Amino acid sequence: MEGAPTVPEEMPAWSLQADREIDLGPPQWPDPVTREWAWGGSTGKGARVCVVDSGVEAEHPSVGPIARAMTVKVQSNGLATAEPDTDGDVSGHGTACASIVRRIAPECELTSMRVLTRGKHGSKGTGLDMIGGLVWAIDEGFDVVALSLSTTRRRFASVLHEMADRAYFSGVTIVASAHNMPVESYPWKYSAVVSVGSHEGSDPTMFYCNPTPPVEFFAPGLDLEVAWSGGSRIRASGNSFAAPHISGFLALIRAKHPHLTPYELKSVLRLTASNAPAGDN
């Protein structure tokens, strides 16, 4: 018939052949999904977490040993290379985030990717630095990437979106903190990442699912005692410190259920949130 759609001789791309089986594999999810099933008995052992931040102070009493300390160097042509980091934490921020992950998942493997440098008025970095650090972390195949940073520069939005999707489809879960100010920033607003804001509670096991995104989850982030540089501890507030709580729980879940994909991990978080029916089980 004239004008009728043509039928391809071969199956379209991404299609499923009739003789191919897709095995989701064990374990079958229980009904309901409880915290006991999700991470009961898990210490995070076997899960690999990369903290993309200002560096991590190795052997801080609240952090312990880290597997690797890396940094990224962005050349004038835009190409980035990763190399061992000898500067440690240039502000204390990364150490604080790492200590929260360690508190939740004490036996996870922690790696530091420093994307900030020392500046005249504190630590500083560019969107290119953050992108370079994320590229390295995704290529290394970490289970969880803890990112308590964002950029307001729209020129980096599309490439960060691409990085978020790339991580999602390669099995890497990016946890990104929302900006502390009501401004447009990236990459926390992308659906391929797990976005986190703060709530006022102090119980580290209390996290909430937000029924009205873009922020998807809330975790403790106000007036928290956190590790800081020089072996010290301070009290601090911000979404930066809420996100590593969620990173820690994802490390627990991933360690116990290493087959789960990023979208499944986000689903487990949703089903075990403190405001979910099974959230207190």
Does residue 19 lie within any of the structural domains? no
Residue 9 lies in a domain: no
3-class secondary-structure state, position 150: coil
Can you give the residue range of the structural domain that contains 117? Answer: 44-272
Residue 123 has pLDDT above 90, yes or no: no
Domain with residue 48: its CATH number is 3.40.50.200
Tokens standing for residue 210: 């937000």
> Confidence class of residue 279 from pLDDT cuts 50, 70 and 90?
low
Percent of the chain with pLDDT over 70: 93
Provide the 3-class DSSP secondary structure of residue 92.
coil
Q: Say if 245 falls within a structural domain.
A: yes
Compute the average pLDDT of residues 54-76: 93
Res. 77: pLDDT tops 50? yes
Q: Spell 57-75 as b/e; 16+ CB within 10 A means b.
A: bbebebbeebeebbbbebe
**pLDDT for 22:** 77
Measured at the alpha carbon of residue 111, what is the angle toward residues 107 and 117, in degrees to the nearest 5? 140
Question: Which carries the bigger pLDDT value, residue 3 or residue 253?
Answer: 253
The pLDDT of 224-234, averaged and rounded, is: 96
**What is the per-residue pLDDT across 128-168, written as a single tens digit (0 to 9) for each?**
999 999 999 999 999 999 999 999 999 999 999 999 999 99
Nearest to 166 by CA among 188, 143, 194, 134: 134
Q: What is the number of domains present in the chain?
A: 1
R_g over Cα of the chain: 20
121: pLDDT strictly greater than 60: no
* 109: its two tokens: 């493997």
- What does the alpha-carbon distance between residue 35 and residue 266 come to, in Å, rounded to a whole number? 14
In a domain, 201, yes or no: yes
Nearest C-alpha neighbor of 208 from the set 234, 178, 231, 242: 242
Residue 38 within a domain: no
Q: pLDDT tens digit string along 166-215?
A: 999 999 999 999 999 999 999 999 999 999 999 999 999 999 999 999 99
